[in-house]
Structure 1
C-alpha cells in the first residue's frame, strides 16, 4: 500500500514513542489518524501536535488489554470515518526483570494482558470489519527483536509475550483474505516510554529514525519488517543451531513426507 491519502489509520499506544512517530508519518502521507492510549493528557498533546502539522487526527482513551475498550475504539473509528484502512497494534509494556525460576504467575499475566491479549483485542475488534470492507487494508503488529532471540537473562515475561505475538502474526497472515496485508515489526531498542531504566530507553534509536527505516517496508507490504542489524546475527545463531540439530539428529529420509506436518495440515484445513 503506497498511497495513504485519505486512508484511516488507528494506532494503539499512539501517544508517544513508536506509535506517535508512526502516526506522524502516516499523517504526513495524507492519512487520517486515530490515536488510542490510556493517558488522555498525552493523547491530547499528540493530537494537537498532529493538527498543528495539518493532519486530521482524533483520539480515544483506551486500555487495549480490555476487550470492551478495543470494541469501543473500533466503534468510534468506524462511526467517525466509516472505514479503517490500517490498524497498528503498537501498545505494549515492558516485562518484569526476573529469572524464569523466580518469576511469578502474576508477572506473566500482566505482561500478556497487554502484549498478547492487547494485540488480539485489536484484531478481534477490527479485523472482521476490515475484511467486510472488501478494500485493501493492513494490520501491523509491532513486536520486538526479542521475539526473534533472547538477548540476555531476566527477559522471560517480555520475550514469551513477543514470541507469542509473532506466532499470532504468522498465523493471521495465512488466514485472512488477500486484500488484508499483515505485517510484523521487530524494533530493537528505540527511544520510548515503554519502561525500563531511563539509561536504557534513551540509549535507543530515535523513533523518527526507526520509522524512516521501516517505512519503505510498510509501503512494499513486507511481512517481516526489520530495523536493527545485529538482530539478524543473533537470530541467525539460533537458526543455525536449530538447523545443525536437524542435520545431526533428524535429517530427511526416504518416505519422511508422510510425517510432514505442514502437508498433513493442508489436507485437513480449508
Structure 2
C-alpha cells in the first residue's frame, strides 16, 4: 500500500513517541488519523498538534488491555470515518527491571495485559471488520528488537512479551487473506516515554529518524520492518549458535521429512 491519501489510520499509543511520529507521517501522506491512549490530556495535545499541521485527526481514550475499550475504539473509528484501512498496534510498556527469580505473577501479568493482549485485542476488535471491507488494508504490530534477541538481564517480562508479539504477527500473516497486509516492526531504542522514564526521551534514535527508516518498508509491504543495524548482528549470533546445535545434535537424516512440523501442520489443517 503506497498511497495513504484519504485512508483512515488508527494508532494506539498514538499521543507520544513512536505512535505520535507514525500519526504525523500517515497524516502527512494524506491519511485521516485516529489516535488512542489512556491519558486524555496527552491525546488532546497530540490532536491539536496534528490539526495544526493540516491533518484530520480524532482521538479516543483506550486502555488496550481491555477488549471492550478496543471494541469501543473500533466503533468510534467507523462512526467517524466509515472505514479503517490501517491499524497500528503500537501501545506498550517496559515493565519493571527485575531478576526473573525475584519477579511476581502480577508484574508479568501487567506487561502481558498491555504488550500481548493489547495486540490481540486490537486484532480481535478490528480484524474481521477490516477484512469485510474487501479493500486492501494493513495491520502493523510494533514489536521490538527484543523480540529477536534478549539484550541483557532484568528484561524478563518485556522480552517474553515481545517474543509473544513476534509470534502473534507470524501467525496473523499466515492466516490473513491476501488483501490484508501484515507487518511486524522491530524498533531498537527510540526516544519515547516508554516506561514513564524521562531518560527514555533522551536516549536512542529520534522518533522522526526512526519513521524515515521504516516508512519505505511499510510502503513496500514488508513483513519484517527493521531499523537498528546492530539487531541484525545479535540476532545472527543467536541463529548461528542454534544452527550449530542442530548440525551437531539433530542433523538431517533419511526419512526426517515425516517429522517436518510445517508439513505436519499443513496436513492437520487439511
Could you say which TM-score interval applies, normalised by the shorter chain?
Answer: over 0.9
The residue number in structure 1 matching 2:128 is 128
- Cα distance between partner residues in 2 of 1:146 and 1:196: 19
Deviation string, structure 1 residues 148-206 (Cα, Å, up to 9, x no partner): 10111000000000000100100000001000000000000000001164334411110
Superposed displacement of residue 91, structure 1: 0.3
Deviations 1:228-269 (A, max 9, x none): 000000001110010000000000000001111110111121
Greater displacement, 200-209 / 39-48: 200-209
Map of 1:216 onto structure 2: 216
RMSD: 0.8
**SS of corresponding position for 1:35:** strand
- Corresponding residue number in structure 1 for 2:147: 147
Aligned partner of residue 135 in structure 1, secondary structure: coil
The number of residue pairs the alignment matches comes to 270
The 1-side partners of 2:185 and 2:120 are apart by 16
Residue 92 of structure 1 aligns with which residue? 92
Residue correspondence of structure 1 range 48-63 to structure 2 within 5 A: 48-63=48-63
Where does structure 1 differ by over 4 angstroms across 4 or more consecutive aligned residues?
A: none
3-state SS, counterpart of residue 88 of structure 2: strand
Distance in 1 separating the partners of 2:196 and 2:36: 22
Q: TM-score, normalised by structure 1?
A: 0.99
8 A Cα contact 1:7 1:84, kept in partner: yes
SS in 2 for 1:153: coil
State how 1:46-125 maps to structure 2 within 5 Å. 46-125=46-125
Question: Would you say 1:33 and 2:33 are equivalent positions?
Answer: yes
Partners of 1:55 and 1:199 in 2: CA distance? 30
d(CA) in 2 for partners of 1:225 and 1:133?
25
Match of 1:187 in 2: 187
Aligned to 1:235: 235
Q: What is the DSSP-based 3-state SS (H/G/I as helix, E as strand, rest coil) of the residue aligned with 1:131?
A: helix
* Structure 1 residues 131 and 171, CA gap change in structure 2 (3 angstroms): same
- The answer to whether the 8 A contact 2:194-2:200 is kept is no
> Which runs of 5 or more residues in structure 1 are unaligned?
none
- Give the distance between the partners of 1:145 and 1:265, measured in 2 at CA: 28
